[in-house]
Amino acid sequence: MNGFKKSCLSAVFLFLSPCAFCAAQGSNNSFYADSLSLRDGLDAAVKSAFFKAAGDISLGSTDKVKIKDDDVYSAVTSLRLNAGKLEAVFDTNKVAAVLEKYGAQAWQGLADPIIVWMYESGNDSGSFVGGELTAFAKAFAGSADNNKYRLMFPLLDLEDIQSVTYDTMATADSGALVAASKRYGSDFVIACVVDHLADGNISISCKLLDKDGKILYEYAGVGAADSLADNQAKAIAGVLSSLQQGNMLTAAAIADPDTLGAHGDFVRLKLYGINNLNDLVAFERVLSGIGVEGNVSCAMVSDSDAIIVNVYTQLDPSSLDGSLEHSSEFSKIEPFAYSYNHGSAKLNPQINSIGKASAQRPDTRVAVSADSLVNFPASSSAY
């Protein structure tokens, strides 16, 4: 089974146009890296690609985070050789989960902009920031961009002026701010009062609210404008990052792959009797034959020689479980756990991916002259 474990990272392989490091086309949940040098071995190349992916979704540096090889490989979707170079695809949700497991903050950014109500004053006068950004507002927005989210400022038309006043900001009237923000369709609201002081510093009061008016973050202090703009943008990104983790695969899901059943947009199954990649592809065909539409990916191999697969489907999990139970192709062991009755003989299959280096798959200078996909034979002892 070990040879299969190393080859089942993906049953369906991605063929992507060459690029140095970019997100996989057509998916916001994949990170694609190509032209990875194998000079230092396979594991080093995969880990290098992992940290490239982590850099895209992390808040701050991950240079000092020491991650075990097995956890790095748990985030891999597929690996291929092309012209002697390695191509790797990672599931960014799983990369984020690995980072969380090691205490690093993962942050994939926010798609929709955040509405900002900002009132700036100085020299006994003040006004709201709208279409024309002040120097502080520009610095704040620029730092937000660097931290993977965007800010938008209100129109300050008659409706806005009637809804939000200086008193609204000074009293931190969350209800009024949230009500005025609904027209902008943002899930979050930033309320910021900035006072320019005679010594060139600023006094700032800043709050982050959710669309229900709950205060998620607040700060009040004095300092240099550029420094405070950067610090506030980073602090808000940190709060948003923590919220985002609740919607992503957690480290617990990596540590406990046997948690079967519904997992958000997929159903997790445990399958016995899957001996090689050909069987996994056959299983996907069987699902299609009984009316189950959806992609299948191999999550990992359990210690009990079963494989854990994720079936991405809109079908109700209990209906999927019932369909498999009544299919002659499977024998039910427990809910969401089955034996596949028609697995092929344990022959050495053609393997279309590269797994983690081992005694059977040495971490060596792999086929540097190859100009096409390289099939690595599995260990004969594994089949």
The pLDDT value recorded for residue 258 is: 55
Highest average pLDDT, of 13-17, 87-91, 262-266, 345-349, comes from: 87-91
Q: Are 275 and 343 in contact (CB under 8 A)?
A: yes
Helix (H, G, I), strand (E, B) or coil at 115: strand
**Cα gap 65→58, rounded to integer Å:** 11
Percent of the chain with pLDDT over 90: 26
**Tens of pLDDT, residues 297-319:** 776 666 556 788 888 887 778 88
**Cα gap 269→185, rounded to integer Å:** 38
The pLDDT value recorded for residue 162 is: 93
The pLDDT value recorded for residue 176 is: 94
Instruction: Using the predicted structure, report yes or no on whether residue 324 has a pLDDT greater than 70.
Output: yes
End-to-end CA distance of the chain: 7
Of residues 86 and 375, the one with the higher pLDDT is: 86
Q: 188: which 2 tokens?
A: 């979050």
The pLDDT value recorded for residue 321 is: 84
Q: Are 329 and 286 in contact (CB under 8 A)?
A: yes
The pLDDT value recorded for residue 334 is: 84
Q: What's the pLDDT band for 127 if we cut at 50, 70, 90?
A: very high
Instruction: Using the predicted structure, report yes or no on whether residue 375 has a pLDDT greater than 60.
Output: no
Mean pLDDT over 233-251 rounds to 70
> How do 114-122 and 188-196 pair as beta strands?
parallel
Q: Is 116 exposed, middle or buried (0-12, 13-18, 19+ CB in 10 A)?
A: buried
Any bridge partners for residue 292, and if so which? Answer: none
The pLDDT value recorded for residue 354 is: 44
**Tens of pLDDT, residues 255-312:** 455 578 887 778 888 888 887 777 777 888 888 777 776 677 776 666 556 788 888 8
* Single-letter amino acid, residue 184: Y
Q: Whose structure tokens read 């609904």?
A: 182
Q: What's the pLDDT band for 140 if we cut at 50, 70, 90?
A: very high
Of residues 230 and 41, the one with the higher pLDDT is: 230
**Tens of pLDDT, residues 179-218:** 999 999 889 999 999 999 999 999 999 999 998 999 999 9
The pLDDT value recorded for residue 284 is: 81
Q: Is 175 exposed, middle or buried (0-12, 13-18, 19+ CB in 10 A)?
A: exposed
- Average pLDDT, rounded, for the chain: 75
Instruction: Using the predicted structure, report yes or no on whether residue 374 has a pLDDT greater than 50.
Output: no
**Tens of pLDDT, residues 22-56:** 433 334 578 888 888 888 888 888 888 898 888 77
